[in-house]
């Protein structure tokens, strides 16, 4: 009994180490490169970093800002990983998010009925729209073997431009100064509750936590999660094992798109209360989420923390720009360097694979 407990603990330790090893090393190197850039700006890296983390994680007000900003990033990273772990390179999370959010906002604004019900309906409609928008490239891949990378990427532009059109013309809020392109505000009852009296921190973050838990559940506890993961590791293996790959692809992409829509809906219903032009694309939520997914190697818990960390870098980055005059781009540089250093892992892996292949050629030395 005790032995099996020990084995379980060891296995858990191994898993945790595997999940955290790469991101930690990458973060370290990323900060190191950032330090060089800060030095080049003529500042003391230690002092800058101290200030930066102080104004992103250590002071409650900034911590709340960090978590608020992290909310859509976390959800986007989950949406990305949903598809990527099954081997479908969906880089259209932004488009799916925009489509879903626009539909949700329209439903919330224009469908008549009791606000509570309509609010709920809006979220569901948004998820359906995001799912459908993600199914489009999946169907194209299935029927015509079109590269999903290309279709999902291109559909981002389609979604962004269509959304721009709608908020510029038919959905534009004409009550204000008429200079900004956004919709009217949604009904107060539909808004997510604030979790802090002094900041905009809201229940959207709890939704992000829930999505993460859902991801953990799907990946670890369901047959679907198992089959899609195997398909991502080696599609031939999954096919040989008799899994229904088209079905897995459709469900995967639909879920990915539905989750993506939640990211934008949380932003509208929890923070802005309206859809304004470019609110989801200029902030790069989807791309930061993609980076978090890459850095954490698609592990849900890892992505959760990495998303918060990246969001902290951005919040801290703008803080040091204000107080120390260090350009905001420093945060972007660090963020990109971390992602770069994580991809170093790929090189290691390829080398390892080569080595193991040679071993196989020889007939399994370790046998």
Partner 1 sequence: MKHITKVYGSLYANDDVHLTLDKGEILAVVGENGAGKSTLMKILYGLEQPTSGEIYLNGQLQHFRSPHDAVNQKIGMVQQHFMLLNPCTVAENIVYGREPRKGIFFDREGAVRVTEALCEKYGLYIDPRRRVGDCPVGLQQRVEILKVLYQDADIIIFDEPSAVLTPQEVNELLRTMRKLADMGKSIIIITHKLHEVMAVADRVMVMRLGKYIQEMPKSETSIQEMSYLMVGRHIVERKVPPREPTGRVLDVQDLVLAGSDAKNILDHFSIHVDGGEIVGIAGVSGNGQSELIQCLTGLLQPTSGKILLKGQDVAGKTVGEIRTAGCACIPEDRYLWGCAAKASLTETAIMAHQNRPEISKRGLLNGKGAKDFTRALLDGYDVRNSGQAQRAGELSGGNIQKLIVAREVEQHSPLLIAAEPTRGVDIGAMEFIHNKLLEKRERGDAVLLISSELTEIMSLSDRIYVIYEGKATGEFRKADATEEGLGILMMGGKSHEAVS
Per-position x/- string for 263-302, each x denoting binding to partner 1 as judged by CB under 8 A, each - no binding: ----------------------------------------
Q: How far is the CB of 14 from partner 1 (least distance, A)?
A: 6
Pair 297, 22: CB distance under 8 Å: yes
- Does residue 221 touch partner 1 according to CB under 8 A? yes
- Choose between 85 and 182: whose C-beta lies nearer to partner 1: 85
Pair 227, 61: CB distance under 8 Å: no
Q: Which of 179, 242, 325, 347 binds partner 1 (CB under 8 A)?
A: 242
- Does residue 39 touch partner 1 according to CB under 8 A? no
Q: How far is the CB of 15 from partner 1 (least distance, A)?
A: 6
The span from the CA of 103 to the CA of 261, in Å, is 9
Q: Which stretch binds partner 1 (CB under 8 A): 23-31, 257-265, 321-329, 351-359?
A: 351-359
- Choose between 147 and 356: whose C-beta lies nearer to partner 1: 356
What residues between 156 and 215 interact with partner 1 by CB under 8 A?
none
Backbone angles phi, psi at 168, to 5 degrees: -80, -35
- Choose between 12 and 61: whose C-beta lies nearer to partner 1: 12
- Does residue 367 touch partner 1 according to CB under 8 A? yes
Contacts of the segment 88-91: beta carbons below 8 A, 24+ positions apart = 88/138, 88/141, 88/148, 88/232, 88/249, 88/252, 88/253, 88/256, 89/148, 89/149, 89/152, 90/134, 90/137, 90/148, 90/152, 90/253, 90/256, 91/149, 91/152, 91/153, 91/156, 91/290
Coil/strand/helix, residue 201:
coil
- Choose between 219 and 339: whose C-beta lies nearer to partner 1: 219
**Cα Rg of the chain, angstroms:** 22
- Does residue 5 touch partner 1 according to CB under 8 A? no
Task: Give me the count of residues in the chain.
Answer: 367
| Binding positions for partner 1, rule: CB under 8 A | 7, 10-11, 14-15, 220-227, 229-230, 233-234, 236-244, 353, 356, 359-367
């Amino acid at each position: 009994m005790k032995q099996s407990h020990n084995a379980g603990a060891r296995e858990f330790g191994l898993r945790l180490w595997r999940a955290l090893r790469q991101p930690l090393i990458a973060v370290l190197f990323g900060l190191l490169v950032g330090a060089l850039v800060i030095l080049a700006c003529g500042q003391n890296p230690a002092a800058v970093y101290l200030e930066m983390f102080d104004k992103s994680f250590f002071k409650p007000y900034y911590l709340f800002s960090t978590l608020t900003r992290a909310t859509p990033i976390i959800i986007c990273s989950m949406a990305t990983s949903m598809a990527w772990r099954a081997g479908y390179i969906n880089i259209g999370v932004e488009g799916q998010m925009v489509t879903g959010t626009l539909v949700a906002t329209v439903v919330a604004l224009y469908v008549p009925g009791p606000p509570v019900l309509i609010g709920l309906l809006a979220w569901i409609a948004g998820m359906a729209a995001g799912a459908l928008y993600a199914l489009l490239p999946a169907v194209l891949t299935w029927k015509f073997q079109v590269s999903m990378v290309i279709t999902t990427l291109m559909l981002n532009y389609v979604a962004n431009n269509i959304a721009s059109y709608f908020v510029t013309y038919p959905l534009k809020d004409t009550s204000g100064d008429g200079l900004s392109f956004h919709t009217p505000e949604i009904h107060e009852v539909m808004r997510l509750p604030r979790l802090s009296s002094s900041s905009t921190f809201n229940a959207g973050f709890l939704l992000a936590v829930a999505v993460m838990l859902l991801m953990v559940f799907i990946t670890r506890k369901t047959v679907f999660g198992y089959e899609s993961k195997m398909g991502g590791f080696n599609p031939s293996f999954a096919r040989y094992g008799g899994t229904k790959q088209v079905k897995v692809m459709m469900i995967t992409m639909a879920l990915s798109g539905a989750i993506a829509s939640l990211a934008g809906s949380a932003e509208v219903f929890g923070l802005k209360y309206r859809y304004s032009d470019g609110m989801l694309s200029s902030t790069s939520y989807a791309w930061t989420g993609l980076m978090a997914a890459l850095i954490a190697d698609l592990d849900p818990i890892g992505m959760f923390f990495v998303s918060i960390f990246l969001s902290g870098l951005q919040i801290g980055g703008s803080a040091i720009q204000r107080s120390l005059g260090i350009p905001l781009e420093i945060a972007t540089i660090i963020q990109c360097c971390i992602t770069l250093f994580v991809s170093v892992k790929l090189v290691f892996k390829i080398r390892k694979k080569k080595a193991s292949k040679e071993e196989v050629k020889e007939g399994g030395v370790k046998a």
